[in-house]
Every structure is written in structure tokens, then in C-alpha cells.
Chain A
Amino acid sequence: EIVLTQSPATLSLSPGERATLSCRASQSVSSYLAWYQQKPGQAPRLLIYDASDRATGIPARFSGSGSGTDFTLTISSLEPEDFAVYYCHQRSNWPLSTFGQGTKLEIK
């Protein structure tokens, strides 16, 4: 099983700041990496797929990068609605999928 490790577990920042979230895979997942945002009581929302492609309707302040084992989700300037939990997800050995444990982005 491919294990995804996200860091940090919690990130405390202020609106307007830049957020950088990391996801590391236990083995190469090529570019088959997605990112989701989840707010309390809601389903996850797809932000980024194939490592760097923004999903429909996702603001340009969200960007993804990386390939192989190291990936980054960057939020260029935080808006109040961006504070949430973020999960990475790999599907390199589809149909099997695994998720990271999540990074909580909280207001400082």
C-alpha cells in the first residue's frame, strides 16, 4: 500500500499570507496526486488533480506542484474561507486509492 504523509499536521497562518502544504508518498505515484479541501460537516471538495490541474471553479490562488514522491499545495494569499482541512490522495495504482492523514489550516 502506498502511504501518503502530509506535513505539517497543523498550519497556523493569517489571512493574506501564503500557505504551503506538503504531501510525500512512500513510493512514486507519478503525477496521480489530487488535493481536497474539507470544511466541518461538509464533504471534501476537489481542488487539484493530476498534481497541478485545478478542478472546475477552483480559484487561481490554489496551485499544485510536484511529481514522483513529493508534492505541494500552495495557496498564494489566504482568504477567510480557506481555513479548513486539506487532504492529498493518490491513485497511481488505480483502482486502489489512499489518502494522506490531512493538514489542518487554522487562523493564527
Chain B
Amino acid sequence: QVQLQESGPGLVKPSETLSLTCTVSDGSISSYYWSWIRQPPGKGLEWIGNGFHSGTTNYNPSLKSRLTISVDTSKNQFSLKLRSVTAADTAVYYCARDVTAFDIWGQGTMVTVSS
């Protein structure tokens, strides 16, 4: 069974860049799209964007100007970079496999934006 694990700093300063990595285990990162989804404390879910091993990426229009998603097939990882963060970017960030729905999720990682 494919497993996903997010990793990255839990604290980011305002105006800096939030960087996260999702490692795919027990399966290939090829053949599927992989998404990032976030959930602010006590709130609902927001799709951030996705990527494919070919380099194709798709972004939420509300975040597109600050966002880069990439897929590294050699490491079986995909990553998220969100620039110029503010307190509004504080959330649990999830990675998920993007098939007919988000069928496999990582456990999530909490990222707090604060000085």
C-alpha cells in the first residue's frame, strides 16, 4: 500500500518561503498526479495544487503567484514552495494522491507562520 509522508519546518517567518516535501513509499511517483491540500486550524480544506512526473503542474488561482510545485522521480518525492507567507498561511499541510479523488493522504504537517 502506497504511503505518503510530509516533511519540512514547522515554523516559518512572515515574508519568507514555506518549503515542504512529500515522500512516496511502497509505490512509484510516476503515473499519477500528486496534490497539496491545506487546512487552517479549525477550518475546512483547500486544494493548493498538483504536479505530475512529466513536469506538468496545476495551481489554485488564489495561490498561483506565490506557488511552485515540483516532482522528483529520482527521489520519489514531490515538493511545495509557497513564497511571501503571512499568518493566513498557517495550516496543516497534506499531500495526497490525486486520482478519481484524493484516495491516499499523508498524515499532515502543521506549519505556523510567525516571527
Contact = CB atoms under 8 A, between A and B. Distances in A.
Given A43-B107, A95-B50, A96-B60, A87 B101 contact: no
A46 B103 contact: yes
B48 to A, nearest CB: 10
B46 interface: yes
Contacts of A8: none
Contacts of A46: 101-103
A46 B35 CA distance: 14
A42 to B, nearest CB: 8
A91 B109 CA distance: 24
A34 interface: yes
Which secondary structure characterizes the binding site on chain B?
Answer: strand
A11 interface: no
B78 interface: no
Interface in B88-104: 94, 98, 100-103
Interface string B14-49: 000000000000000000010100000000111101
A44 B45 contact: yes
Contacts, number: 50
Contact of B44 (A49, A87, A97): A87
B44 A100 contact: yes
Interface residues of A, number: 21
Contacts of A20: none
A100 B44 CA distance: 8
B5 to A, nearest CB: 11
A43 B106 contact: yes
B101 A43 contact: no
Contacts of A43: 94, 105-108
Nearest to B33: A95
Contacts of A55: 101, 103
Interface in B33-77: 33, 35, 44-47, 49-50, 58, 60-61
Interface of A: 34, 36, 42-46, 49-50, 55, 87, 89, 91, 95-102
